[in-house]
Chains A and B, each alone.
Chain A
Amino acid sequence: MELANIEQLIEKYENAETSLQEEQVLAAYFQQDNTPVHLLEYKAMFGYFNESKAERFTKTIPLKTKKPYWKWASVAAAAILLVSIYTINKPGSLSDQERIEAQLAYQETQKAFQLISQNLNKGESVAIAGLQEFQKTQNKVFKNN
């Protein structure tokens, strides 16, 4: 850019009438090396502005994302309590499957008991027959006396 133009822009700049674009033109101009002596102050100014723009915040920003966990903990505890009370107090809560199995087991045991009692009856009748035989011989002995 020509020096005359730059000088014009500089004047506008001093009066704070330049747009951001025009200020960028000036900043770019003063980054070059061949600055006339009477504009050296602006070179220093724009140099400083440029330098300042590059400054960064290097520390970390601690953003607390801590939420009140205990609130949810109490909700969970209450839920667990309710569920456990419900399941403990629930009466006769057997499923169909379990009921059928229980019935089968009951029938099986009943069969087994019946078998035992039939065989017991058989043994009893044999024993009674034996006893009668014993009675006969006893009678014979006591008659003979």
Chain B
Amino acid sequence: MQQTEFLNTVLPLKDKVFRLAKRLLVSIDEAEDATQELFLKLWKNKSKLKNYSSVEAFAMTMTKNYCLDQLKAKRSNNLKLVHSNYKDNNISLERDIEVKDSVSKVHELIEKLPEKQKLIIQLRDIENFEFEEIGKILDLQPTAVRVALSRARKTIRQQLIKQHNYGIS
């Protein structure tokens, strides 16, 4: 793959890569670092990219694997404490200001989902991939993708209703 071809086909994926990384890594800084790191990797391997049927799906798979590895490394490095601190801060801050914005609540709820469902919600509802593509990216059967997605959507809705009712009563 030539330089110009790379700039035209791979570089526009940077927003998708960044959003997926942010979904998994939570912090913007980490997501930015991950994006830069991933594009460096793609750049170095640009000669091999034409072997993949869909560069987009390949980039998504790479992002997923890289971020999950990062998370694993973080957990084993005892950095979980920092992470949960960050989370707690966020929630208390929100309680303090009493932001009742249900849109930001959705963000929180997605964050609490299991990683697989998080990924699927991101890829389907935000990046609008087909089920077959998501299956390829996550190495799952399309039906498994549907089941997990349905579960995730229902969970988000139910949690929203719960919070809603709690707010009223």
Q: Contact residues of A with B, CB < 8 Å?
A: 13-17, 20, 23, 40-42, 44-45, 47-49, 51-53, 55-57, 59, 61-65
Number of A-B contacts (CB under 8 A): 83
Any A CB within 8 A of the CB of B169: no
Question: With A17-B146, A63-B40, A64-B43 known to touch, is A48 a contact of B106 (CB < 8 Å)?
Answer: yes
Task: Please tell me if the beta carbons of A45 and B156 are within 8 angstroms of each other in the complex.
Answer: yes
Question: With A15-B150, A16-B153 known to touch, is A61 a contact of B160 (CB < 8 Å)?
Answer: no
Give 6 pairs: A residue, B residue, CB < 8 Å, sorted on A.
A16-B149, A16-B153, A40-B102, A48-B107, A51-B103, A64-B43
Any A CB within 8 A of the CB of B126: yes
The answer, among B36, B106, B125, B128, for a CB contact under 8 Å with A59, is B36
Task: Please tell me if the beta carbons of A49 and B125 are within 8 angstroms of each other in the complex.
Answer: yes
Q: List residues 101-118 of chain B with CB under 8 A from any CB of chain A.
A: 102-107, 110
A14 vs B130: C-alpha distance when bound (angstroms) = 16
Task: Please tell me if the beta carbons of B18 and A57 are within 8 angstroms of each other in the complex.
Answer: yes
Task: Please tell me if the beta carbons of A57 and B32 are within 8 angstroms of each other in the complex.
Answer: yes
A23 vs B129: C-alpha distance when bound (angstroms) = 12
Q: Contact residues of B with A, CB < 8 Å?
A: 3, 11, 14-15, 17-19, 22, 32, 35-36, 39-40, 43, 102-107, 110, 124-128, 130, 145-147, 149-150, 153-154, 156-157, 160-161, 164
Task: Please tell me if the beta carbons of A62 and B36 are within 8 angstroms of each other in the complex.
Answer: yes
Q: Is the interface of A mostly helix, strand, loop or mixed?
A: helix
- Which B residues lie within 8 Å of A49 (CB)? 125-126
Closest 7 CB pairs of A and B: A57-B18, A44-B102, A48-B106, A16-B150, A16-B149, A41-B160, A16-B146
- Which A residues lie within 8 Å of B127 (CB)? 53
Q: Is the interface of B mostly helix, strand, loop or mixed?
A: helix
CB distance from B90 to the nearest CB of A (A): 16
- Which A residues lie within 8 Å of B14 (CB)? 57, 61
- Which A residues lie within 8 Å of B105 (CB)? 44
Task: Please tell me if the beta carbons of B39 and A23 are within 8 angstroms of each other in the complex.
Answer: no
Task: Please tell me if the beta carbons of B18 and A45 are within 8 angstroms of each other in the complex.
Answer: no
Q: Which residue of B lies closest to A51 (CB)?
A: B103
- Which A residues lie within 8 Å of B17 (CB)? 57
- Which A residues lie within 8 Å of B3 (CB)? 65
Q: Which residue of A lies closest to B153 (CB)?
A: A14
A61 vs B130: C-alpha distance when bound (angstroms) = 28
CB distance from A39 to the nearest CB of B (A): 10
Task: Please tell me if the beta carbons of B146 and A23 are within 8 angstroms of each other in the complex.
Answer: no
Task: Please tell me if the beta carbons of A14 and B157 are within 8 angstroms of each other in the complex.
Answer: yes
Task: Please tell me if the beta carbons of A41 and B36 are within 8 angstroms of each other in the complex.
Answer: no
Question: With A44-B103, A48-B106, A61-B11 known to touch, is A13 a contact of B153 (CB < 8 Å)?
Answer: yes
- Which B residues lie within 8 Å of A23 (CB)? 125, 128
